[in-house]
């Protein structure tokens, strides 16, 4: 119980330690985000590409995520395709301000929900549904991603996580996170306002 309380406090610290960036969102409780997600995965973004939709109205960025672990009871394929609004095609950039980004090479934990077409997934609850995995002294911890659309360039070539304070932010261990997801998806109530966008 004491350990669980510490986890909640840690998540709260994670939430409050990152620069906030968003259009305008209402924070959702962790347990709600966990329960509503089709999958909760830990994986690596192996490649990304951007393209207009068929109507040439919206640019989407697609990301192939190699899944290393499924949290909770739901499991799926070894690779998933994540699609997020925003991207750059032939010099034209489209951004949904404050929405999450996916960058090639990232080691991430994602809450995912299915797009209407059923073939691809989107990050659930916007940036509340994304964590970066960091190795601190041999221990893997999860930290919120401080960079959202509009707060940095969409091409990630020059992205420097140290400059964004990620490596100094408080983190939650993978095991602590997994226990919280299990509890939430089993119907438990983990806490409120744990992650601020």
Partner 1 sequence: MKKQTILALGITSIILIASTEPVMAYTLLSPRRRWSSTPVTVRVYNVGNSTISDGSGGVSATVSAIRVWGMISSSSTSSAAVRGSAPATIMLNTNGGLCTGGCLAATLTGYYVSQAGDDRIYDADVYTNTAHQFYSSGESGCSAEYDINGIMAHEVGHVIGIGHSSVAGATMYPSVSACNTANRTLASDDFAARDNLY
Q: Which residues bind partner 1 (CB under 8 A)?
A: 19-28, 36, 56-58, 85, 88, 91-99, 124-126, 128, 150-153, 196-197
Residue closer to partner 1 (CB basis): 93 or 179: 93
* Smallest distance from partner 1 to CB 20, Å: 4
* Smallest distance from partner 1 to CB 112, Å: 13
* Smallest distance from partner 1 to CB 6, Å: 26
Nearest-CA neighbor of 101 among 72, 139, 130? 130
Give the torsion through C-alpha atoms of 39, 40, 42, 44, to 10 deg. Answer: 50
Say which residues have a Cβ less than 8 Å from residue 30's Cβ, sequence separation at least 6: 11, 180, 184, 190, 191, 192, 194, 195
* Smallest distance from partner 1 to CB 11, Å: 17
Residue closer to partner 1 (CB basis): 27 or 167: 27
Residue closer to partner 1 (CB basis): 78 or 157: 157
Can you say how many angstroms the Cα of residue 43 is from the centroid of all Cα atoms in its chain? 11
* Smallest distance from partner 1 to CB 96, Å: 5
CB atoms within 10 A of CB 176: 19
Residue closer to partner 1 (CB basis): 185 or 195: 195
CA distance 141 to 149: 23
CB half-sphere exposure, 42, CA atoms < 13 A: 17
User: φ, ψ for residue 111 (rounded to 5)?
Assistant: -90, 125
Residue closer to partner 1 (CB basis): 7 or 127: 127
């Amino acid at each position: 119980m004491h350990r669980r309380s510490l986890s909640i406090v840690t998540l709260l610290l994670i939430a409050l330690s990152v620069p906030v960036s968003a259009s305008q969102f209402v924070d959702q409780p962790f347990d709600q985000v966990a329960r509503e997600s089709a999958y909760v995965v830990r994986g690596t973004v192996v490649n990304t590409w951007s393209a207009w939709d068929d109507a040439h109205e919206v640019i989407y960025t697609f990301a192939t995520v190699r899944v290393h672990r499924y949290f909770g009871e739901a499991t799926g394929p070894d690779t998933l395709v994540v699609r997020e609004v925003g991207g750059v095609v032939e010099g034209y950039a489209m951004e949904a301000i404050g929405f999450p980004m996916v960058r090639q090479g990232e080691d991430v934990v994602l809450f995912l929900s299915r797009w209407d077409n059923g073939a691809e997934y989107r990050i659930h609850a916007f940036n509340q549904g994304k964590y970066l995995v960091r190795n601190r002294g041999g221990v893997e911890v999860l930290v919120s991603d401080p960079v959202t659309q509009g707060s940095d360039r969409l091409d990630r070539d020059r992205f420097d996580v140290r400059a964004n304070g990620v490596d100094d932010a408080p983190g939650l261990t993978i095991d602590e996170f997994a226990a919280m997801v299990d509890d939430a998806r089993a119907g438990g109530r983990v806490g409120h306002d744990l992650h601020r966008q």
